[in-house]
Amino acid sequence: MLQYDFEESVGYWITMTSHFYHGALNQELIPYGITFRQFQVIGWLVYSGPLSQVELADRMMIEPPTLVRILDRMERDEWIKRENDPTDRRRKVINVLPEARPVWTKMVACLKRLRKKATDGMTPEQVQTLKSLLAQVQENLGAQVTELESS
């Protein structure tokens, strides 16, 4: 078997941290009947504004057909609405509906609890350093990084 020192790999630490963070967020959302993918849909739409199905699938790193099933349920629950783009009838644009506000409030509470748990034992300066370092990694890998206000 080929050898590789995973624990010295920045990618290993980022991937494992993402995996654990995703799992912890999923556990926070379960009591409210919210899936991680539903959280992602509303989160991206709140952060970016209306997006096409293709843009949203790309940001969520899933295939568009997979997203369609998620959107079907969310539209049935009246959390989102898909509408034809007025400039391109082939394109569907997704908007968050006001009825999703109570769900988003629960999601935000989960995110705040998780943020507190994840940064337990860190000073505000250490949290800022962590965010800056991760932004630098993203930039090094070609991402257009913008600072988020209250990450």
Using one digit for the tens of pLDDT, what is the confidence trace for 80-126?
999 998 888 888 999 999 999 999 999 999 999 999 999 999 999 99
| Single pTM value for the model | 0.83
24-118: what fold?
Arc Repressor Mutant, subunit A (1.10.10)
Distance CA 55, CA 28 (A): 27
Strands 80-85 and 51-52: unpaired
Residues 46-50 have a mean pLDDT of: 95
Distance CA 32, CA 39 (A): 11
Q: Domain ranges in the chain?
A: 24-118, 121-151
Alpha helices, DSSP H, located in 30-87: 36-48, 53-60, 64-76
